[in-house]
Structure 1
Amino acid sequence: MKILDINTRLLALTAVFASAAYAGDPPEIKAKVAIKEVASWEGTPYKSYPTGQPQLTILEITIPPHTALPWHQHPIPNAAYVVSGDLTVEDRVSGKSHRVSAGQGFAESVNSSHRGVTGDKEAVVIVTYSGVEGTPLSIPDKGEKAEFEHVE
């Protein structure tokens, strides 16, 4: 009986050490701020949010290579993160531009005419909009097409 007890204890002890070896330290969770701004990329300070029932929207927008989006404005604050490719944001009035590459974010313009232009590669951009129910995400400038035709 004693040999069985010792073997049982050794087996249990081996199991404890084996599970401890596999458990290890849990993986580290990391967070990186992509953007934290009080003004849009061209320097215009944000004002207050619209009043009403808040509505958050996140879009993944895929823009083909060598494409200029139509000139448009956003009536609500929004921020973008470039997942892949490059995007140059242009301000229509000032002529300022800002190039953003994969892994970078930027604070978009509000109530200011602008557009994005891609380079040699397709750009995938995640855009978060902080608005209220019933407010459009984007308004085309006079004579321009909508920024995006189909939202799924």
Structure 2
Amino acid sequence: MRLVRRTAIALTLVLITARALTAPAAAAAAGGPEKPVSTVLLKTERSWDGKLYKSYPAGRPQLTVLKIVIPAHTTLPWHMHPMPNVGYVLSGNLHVESRDGHHQTTLHAGDVLPEMVGSAHRGYTDNAPVKLIVFYAGAKGLPTATTVH
């Protein structure tokens, strides 16, 4: 009798485990809940002009995320960033150029740009506004950008 009971318990555990392992696949095949998907948009040690990032700023780390909207036919002032940052274009076309004239690029919706650190550059728009999100990895009290005259 004990052997029958142990066998029944073992068989039940096997069936429960098998059901648990196959349930997600069955749910997906039946139009069930989708699984989360993670896609790397950018992983780099260099800014868009090819220069290596040297380090993060000294001090207490401070992360800043900005949503920036640039109107159509707008040119931003020449500026520099004292920290690594990356922009993600939500909509529009953003043209970016270095002040020395050696580097230019154009970004479209869905593109990412690892920004230059310590080098003057600017962006400008064409016939449509640009919306972008910029993530800054800085230090407390440090500005995200400074205007260059």
TM beyond 0.5: yes
User: Percent identity over the alignment?
Assistant: 47
For each residue in 1:91-150, what CA deviation from the matched residue of structure 2 results, as whole angstroms up to 9, or x when unmatched? 0014310101001101000000000111111000100000000101000002xxxxxxxx
Provide structure 1 residue ranges, at least 5 long, that are not aligned to the other structure: 1-19, 143-152
- Normalised TM-score (structure 2): 0.77
Q: CA RMSD in A?
A: 1.6
Residue in structure 2 matching 1:90, options 97, 100, 106:
97
- Normalised TM-score (structure 1): 0.76
1:42 counterpart = 2:49: yes
Q: Which residue of 1 aligns with 2:135?
A: 128
Residue in structure 1 matching 2:75, options 58, 68, 76:
68
Please give the secondary structure, in 1, of the residue aligned with 2:42: coil
In structure 2, how many angstroms separate the alpha carbons of the residues matched to 1:130 and 1:43? 19
For each residue in 1:25-63, what CA deviation from the matched residue of structure 2 results, as whole angstroms up to 9, or x when unmatched? 321211222211110001011011112110000000000
Q: Which residue of 1 aligns with 2:119?
A: 112
Number of equivalent positions: 122
For each residue in 1:53-106, what CA deviation from the matched residue of structure 2 results, as whole angstroms up to 9, or x when unmatched? 100000000000111100000001000000000101100014310101001101
Q: Which residue of 2 aligns with 1:141?
A: 148
List 4+ stretches of structure 1 deviating above 4 A.
Answer: none
In structure 2, how many angstroms separate the alpha carbons of the residues matched to 1:32 and 1:24? 22
In structure 1, how many angstroms separate the alpha carbons of the residues matched to 2:82 and 2:38? 29
Are 1:90 and 1:116, in contact at CA under 8 Å, matched by a contact in 2? Answer: yes
Q: Which residue of 2 aligns with 1:78?
A: 85
Residue in structure 2 matching 1:102, options 92, 109, 116:
109
In structure 2, how many angstroms separate the alpha carbons of the residues matched to 1:67 and 1:94? 19
Q: What amino acid sits opposite 1:82 in the alignment?
A: V
In structure 2, how many angstroms separate the alpha carbons of the residues matched to 1:119 and 1:44? 27
Q: 1 or 2, which has the higher helix percentage?
A: 2
In structure 2, how many angstroms separate the alpha carbons of the residues matched to 1:78 and 1:85? 20
